[in-house]
Structure 1
């Protein structure tokens, strides 16, 4: 905290009003956002009086602050959530790294669609979930599409598709469908997702028996497989509330400077998912908890009811969240809240030691790096290039802030035609830092290239030409192409002990930048392969090729698709040709 004189001058004129404050480091980055009932009192607490270790570390990095006056504490809390989302400050609690859950979306069109989504902002749709993972969501979607003949095409075609002939679509493209038919389907889907499947299962059993007696064994087997799929998809945990309400339950546990927040998500009265966040605590625990919950509901639909422990201050949550908030004092709901709190405590105790060690090792690694280079390092950028015999020439850049990956700052680059590794390095370094100069962006303290002296020289040539001040180092590899030591911009090898935290951190960085660059390269290569394969299919031009690519997204998903699924996008004859080429079958061979 090298700017105490300026801070004291600002503290003297702080108003005793509600608002938000933004703490900044020496580089001008916002590292913490908070809210206050009285700004004057709250902000002064950071700079006067004793703190625990973690808050002391936060304060030590504060070089300046700003504040915004609000009309009420409620307004300050809402502004705080928006500022946290915008700036992602390193010391604020963040909702599960912005994790979003998959939902099933049923559109409210005349001919509705059922889709798996993570964005739930469309008000003209009904959402079901959250689901524990995308596999569970897609399995449920696939099953419901088999049971209910909903529309499958994103855009209505000019004639009925194969799904109509398979009995899985009513062909609203050519038929007039009574609105009540789709309304009944929507109601059936709601009942299904509440776990009320008795009526569906009984109907399928009757149809199976009827098909079997008529010696239609394939049809009977299909009904049996549907029944088995329903039993698999609707399998739930033992917690079951008979009122069939959608409710979320939250609680937290604090110990040793960390907070663990546990959430139970119940849909249709049944527990479908649990989540946990454990993170360092730099603020009041209740304020951190409120921030976490509000961030969650900024991205997810509200349930009918939220259960919270009776000791919690829920005044602001009640004012902001448009749903019923209950703090039970007896009965099954209280037992559920107590279960959440017990899970938060147990999970905290199980994970704390691992998290604590990881934090300590990261901090120690950054300290060792600063000592080795003889300067303060906070922001590090690393580059790695990837190509195959010069084709699909790309580069990936990852960013680390105080030893932690900052994934929102990662970047990918498609490079010009490959000439040499050094030319590729020069191109990506030039493009990155010319853009930062134009945009007056944040430059790193350290640039690490994945290579030795020649790569360092190439990077230095561009850095010097642009006249920007960045320390450049390279990762020296051993015979197994693994991180061994650092090399500075003068070509000196800086020895890094293999037992040190810095060696662990550098290895992690090398693995991450390599993974990121390779992943991008594979995505591009997959798209290129898909396009080149589709070019071989008669009847596919640019329009149809684009439709296939937009629908299936990747070569892997296109290969996994059946002829019928491909035929939902292009005519059946073309779909058969696509399938044959992808599976190396003869053009006249039936893949079924």
Structure 2
């Protein structure tokens, strides 16, 4: 289509269908820009051409549209399936795209050998044996194989290597294998080790621990102390893994998917749970070209992730950290493609809530790490230089924030960024004293005066840009302090959350409360400002909580109320010793017989007090 003929949305919408279907948007050169689905094509497409309320990137998409093609489907489920096929085939630039589409690996246990082997398997399941998984990455599977090799000494060597041995290899010397290749272990003992390995892989860790504990006590009673010590070490090793997972329930096959969105990127973290045991997790960084909320990112991610390959296992339950109207349609489409029903839910309790919190926390952390990449931050500094019209690239940004609880334990934070990212060694906190409780203006004034008085005396480095988190009041405090200390030629930037208090809607003030600076929501300079503002907020809250909870009680295990000789004995038996008990989390201590959650927290605090 010729570029000279502009696209007429009004004429197009007049003839658009109101049925469900898929739409494809093209530019003037015929290149596909975006693929979408809708239960009502006319209503959905009309939303792109309204006069107000569009995000900057949606406006950029609309400005390039020269042609729209639609395909009507029988229902919205068929539309979703067609949409994902088109996205996978064409990878349009304005769609959220999942880059990694590989199948997951499994743990393979051979069944046609007198002495079965364990190994990593990826691809078609042709060999005879059992497959455990899937695991989210080769690293996660090697971690499990390494643990099994230490605990149960089941061989992991290839059959060609195993069948040509005439003497034990190094794995036998370092006690990672019992050398079945040269007959140093009988079949019954080896079969028992394999059985224990299968129990672990199936997620029956609690039953396995109970069995090993009983065997250890029996060996001790029979005066077989060498065998008892071996079993003790196995129990300690397995217990340590349970502590790391912190959520062994022996029930539930579920994937937990959490999305985190921040200015400049998005992360989706997938945690895989099989038989109640966390097998591992993996990060995905989809390309998010249009301003999205976590629910929208998940609605685009789930179909591509599970419909993109039939090899990827789909559990009967998906737990997500946000809600979206399309989840019901997505669940129906997945059920139709895979042949069994499943649920997508975000409202969970107990262990499922802990799984979801784990996934959400990992998504946030992983995204923060991505955004703090040195090259990424340097590009944002260059954008900030242009936005603030600075003569030179700024090399030091300082941002200040205040945190308190109803005026209690007020703490001010100072975080510092350079072109290579956060300079955490230069971070500072100020305990605010002598101001009216809840007076953020006075708290900001005190923090800035203390900081810049020292800088004026030659202590530390002067920033190129000073950012103050707050509105015009905090901005005025900063101006007064700089005037009192006769500090000039310092760029001052106020960052207010704006009326909607949403990311991308901040109000910026440059050097004067009346000089408002407007940056588009997709601006890398704005993303940098949001990043340093959020980091100052996090650092202030952490300092406030530490100050508020500074008093700690300390006691020994014997001095804890409610922990008598019997409970101490049960605790040590459950964990295999005091050293393993000290490594356990409060949640793991609560799993011990007769220990409540409150008592577990008291025990944990006592063992970890200074």
TM-score (norm 1): 0.46
Higher normalized contact order (CA 8 Å, seq sep 6+, divided by chain length)? 2
TM-score (norm 2): 0.44
